[in-house]
Copies of this chain bind each other. A is one copy, B any other.
């Protein structure tokens, strides 16, 4: 395990997500944004060597500033498709608009809804419909200022359209504290487990916002 961790730390790893499945822990690793084929392929090799099953990578990036890199778009999706074929890894990417849901479903396995879109209800409905028809899973991140009740209602927008499998992801909420970018609300995990049967994973990386704090928060 330590060897794996060291390896993982050697690659550019802005975004690792722990998936708690029954008794063992699965890690969803990968770059925040796909920057090139070479970058994604190099990370995929490491992910595969680590024995992990999932790789994530952003093709459409929601950015606070319009002047930040907005993602490779369709080219990024093609790279994810090739990675899936080459390594047998399941792929995860973020949908950002009703108009890119279909093309994303053509290319990846898990449709991720990001924190900024948790209350984008038109997107939730579209993702629910497409995921149901095409047998995709959905990863629904918590809105950074959404209550647990609102989060569970967002799930219902998705599952209205059929028995789509939704996995929740706690990624931190916005509070007055500024020493971390967001406050990871780990208490949400037992609350969600009490209120629903949905699987829930935790993304410790966006909350702390500094790479040297990711490992301590993952323990």
Contact = CB atoms under 8 A, between A and B. Distances in A.
Interface of A: 62-67, 96-99, 116-117, 119-123, 125, 143-145, 147-150, 153, 156-157, 160, 173-180, 183-191, 193-194, 207-208, 212-213, 216-217
B145 A122 contact: no
B173 A190 contact: no
Number of copies: 4
A157 B116 CA distance: 15
Contact of A193 (B116, B157, B216): B216
Given A120-B116, A179-B191, A144 B147 contact: no
A8 B166 CA distance: 36
8 contacts: A62-B119, A96-B122, A97-B98, A98-B98, A148-B179, A175-B185, A179-B188, A183-B183
Nearest to A180: B187
A207 to B, nearest CB: 6
Contacts of A120: 97, 116-117, 120
Contact of A190 (B123, B148, B194, B216): B216
